Amino acid sequence: MMRVADHWYDTRKLTNELTLIYEPHVHPFLRCNIWHLRGRDKDLLVDTGLGVSSLKNAIADKIDKLVMALATHIHYDHVGCLREFDERLMYSSESAAMLNYSEFSWLRIADFPQNYQAGLRTDDYQDYLINARPDENYDIKNYQVTSTSITRHLDEGDVIDLGDKALTV
């Protein structure tokens, strides 16, 4: 039986405005860097992790304004918690795929092609690409990315305005 993690997310504050959030119980192959950038008027999350455990709940004490969640691309380790946020941004060419998410999203190592499996197995990850459960009721066999709509489709040159800083796509 897989152990229960005492917490699912870790954070590393890099500056007063920028924090790295990551899932320490996820295999490095799938461990996404989630960036929380604070702005004057809005905050930006860049990527949202696997979705095994709620990111929104985990960062609730760090949020005091509207949060825009930006998915850099469609891979499951980047869009897992995207559905949790009211403002969901993604590049236009990939955003339609979030409406009915059908990309591969395997956590079981045996589901990967044979030539990948040996490289994914380590002392900490024998059967799955997570080595703990977020809570005692979590059933890894039911993992899936929840489809969601994108509220803002991004294209090259678009600007994401946080009030005191702006990012250009």
DSSP letter for each residue of the chain: -PPBPS-S-EEEE-SSSEEEEE-TTB-TTT---EEEE--SS-EEEE----SSS-HHHHTGGG--S-EEEEESSS-HHHHTTGGGSSEEEEEHHHHGGGTT--S----BGGGS-HHHHHHH--SS-SSBSBSSBSSTT--GGG--PPP---SEEE-TT-EEE-SS-EEE-
Report pLDDT digits (tens) over 15-58.
999 999 999 999 999 999 999 999 999 999 999 999 999 999 99
Report pLDDT digits (tens) over 50-92.
999 999 999 999 999 999 999 999 999 999 999 999 999 999 9
What architecture does CATH give domain 10-102+146-168? 4-Layer Sandwich (3.60)
Neighbour tally for 9: CB within 10 Å: 19
Report pLDDT digits (tens) over 77-135.
999 999 999 999 999 999 999 999 999 999 999 999 999 999 999 999 999 999 999 99
Q: What pLDDT shows up at residue 1?
A: 79
Domain positions in the chain: 10-102+146-168
